[in-house]
């Protein structure tokens, strides 16, 4: 009886063992459903940033993408005077304007945190910082902005995250 059971187990297990082949990832850790695979990042640089417009009028909040030098220069002029020369190779890059629009006080900012490549598009993670209730801030209207040159011509999508800064 024991021999029949052993024979049966071997007849079931043996084909499974024979079908196993060495894996080239044998030493690699297995991924769990909680593991995050990092995405490739896209290089970018900040062209200009600040907290006001030249004309003093508060801008409306906007995220804009410029695909040519003329449009970029005309919008950069609203924020920087005299206009600093900054030439962009728009055949391989884009420029994004991140503008928080008019805010009642100082202490606000907007900036690109990271830009990741998702294959058919890229995603810019934007962080918006606002002052907490215990912060001492400038009592004047501000318009935080940032111009970012992105080393890609793929479609650019935005994801925003708000962070409240506690000062004390």
- Per-residue pLDDT, 9: 47
pTM of the model: 0.75
pLDDT in tens, 31-60: 566 677 778 999 999 999 998 765 666 678
What residues does each domain of the chain span?
A: 44-165
Share of the chain above pLDDT 90, in %: 53
Token pair 């909040």 is at which residue?
Answer: 61
Average pLDDT over residues 17-41: 61
Residues 6+ apart with CB under 8 A from 104: 141
Q: Which residue has the higher pLDDT, 159 or 84?
A: 159
Q: Which residues are 96's β-sheet partners? A: 65, 148
Position 39 scores a pLDDT of 86
């Amino acid at each position: 009886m024991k021999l029949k059971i052993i024979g049966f187990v071997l007849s079931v297990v043996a084909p499974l063992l024979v079908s196993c082949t060495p894996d080239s990832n044998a030493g690699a850790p297995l991924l769990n459903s909680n593991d995050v695979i990092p995405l490739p990042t896209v290089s970018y640089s900040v062209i200009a940033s600040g907290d006001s417009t030249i004309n003093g009028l508060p801008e409306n909040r906007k995220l804009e993408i410029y695909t040519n030098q003329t449009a970029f220069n005309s919008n950069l002029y609203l924020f920087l005077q005299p206009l600093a020369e900054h030439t962009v190779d728009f055949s391989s890059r884009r420029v994004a304007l991140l503008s928080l629009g008019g805010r009642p006080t100082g202490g606000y900012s907007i900036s690109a945190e990271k830009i990741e490549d998702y294959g058919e598009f890229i995603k810019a993670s934007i962080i918006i910082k606002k002052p907490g209730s215990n912060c001492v801030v400038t009592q004047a209207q501000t318009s935080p902005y940032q111009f970012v040159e992105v080393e890609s011509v793929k479609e650019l999508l935005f994801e925003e995250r708000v962070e409240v800064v506690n000062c004390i």
